[in-house]
Amino acid sequence: MKPVWALSKLVIKEIFRKKDFYVALILIGVILFYAAQLQFYNVKNIVRYLMEIGLWLVFSFSVILTVTLAARQFPSEIQNRTAAVLLSKPIRRGRFVIGKFLGSFLAGASAFLIFYVLFLAVASAKGGGLASGTAVQTAYLFLLNLMVVAAMASGFSYYLTVSANVSVTLILYLLMGAYGQTLKGRAWAALYYCLPHFEFFDLRQRFIHEWGPISAGLVFFLTCYAAVYTAIFLLLGALKLQRHSL
């Protein structure tokens, strides 16, 4: 496991040493602080619009950062010729795939948690108490969401170029997240049953409108669901890499 963890740390260092994360953080901060200081007819403690904006920003930037990071891991190793040096060391190709995925996911998760804490601080300051149970559950399910997205981008990175991978992954993510429930017609049955339903992990509306958390059983099911899809995408990537001649 040490080689896997070493690879993961490398990817995490990458996200915090490049400017993408800081640009996202500054943008989120600026927009949140601007939105928080808006007044509407001198009515105090209006917070749900801020939560809607903040959660959308946090979720979107986290997904974009994670997908772009995961998508470029293997192609940049090939392009920069570091793949040969790395894979000439005693690390199995399967562990290489896992290490790259884990690093991308943990890097994206770290970025998300930092954004989320900033959002919670601003929203709490604006509107008082937020439902802590739902806040935690929203974050947890989004992390599962991020795990699947990272696995998808990671797995595709062994087949596609960076730009193709980012486009395909984000399109599928948006398609399933926004229209996943409606793809039930015959022509779309394959997508409906085969692709991961990202809308399962989106608790923003429950959090914003104080609907309360979902059941523990459902959380457990969604955890297993995310784990299965993660494994599928990583397996796809590993199968391709096993046959890849460097």
**Site residues, another protein (CB under 8 A):** 2-3, 5-7, 9-10, 13-14, 17-18, 38, 40-43, 45-49, 80-82, 84-92, 180-181, 184, 192-193, 197, 199-200, 202-203, 205-206, 208-209, 211, 214-215, 218, 221-222, 242-246
Q: Please, which residue, 38 or 117, has the CB nearer to another protein?
A: 38
Output 47 or 118, the one with its CB closest to another protein.
47
Report the nearest approach of another protein to the CB of residue 90 (Å).
4
Q: What is the nearest approach in angstroms of another protein to the Cβ of residue 225?
A: 8
Shorter beta-carbon distance to another protein: residue 26 or 209? 209
Q: In whole angstroms, how close is the CB of 44 to another protein at the nearest point?
A: 8
Q: Which two tokens stand for residue 55?
A: 């959660």
- Give CA–CA dist 127/48, Å, rounded: 8
Nearer of residues 82 and 117 to another protein, judged by Cβ:
82
Residue 138 beta carbon to another protein: minimum distance, rounded to whole angstroms: 11
CB of 47 to another protein, least distance (A): 7
Based on CB atoms, which residue is closest to another protein, 33 or 211? 211
Closer by beta carbon to another protein, 66 or else 202: 202
Q: Distance between CA atoms of 160 and 190, rounded to whole angstroms?
A: 21
User: To the nearest whole angstrom, how small is the minimum distance from the Cβ of residue 228 to another protein?
Assistant: 14
DSSP of the chain: -HHHHHHHHHHHHHHHHSSHHHHHHHHHHHHHHHHHT--BTTB----HHHHHHHHHHHHHHHHHHHHHHHHHHHHHHHHTTHHHHHHTSS--HHHHHHHHHHHHHHHHHHHHHHHHHHHHHHHHHHHS---HHHHHHHHHHHHHHHHHHHHHHHHHTTTS-HHHHHHHHHHHHHHHHHHGGGTTSGGGHHHHHHS--GGGG--HHHHHTT--PPPHHHHHHHHHHHHHHHHHHHHHHHHHHHT---
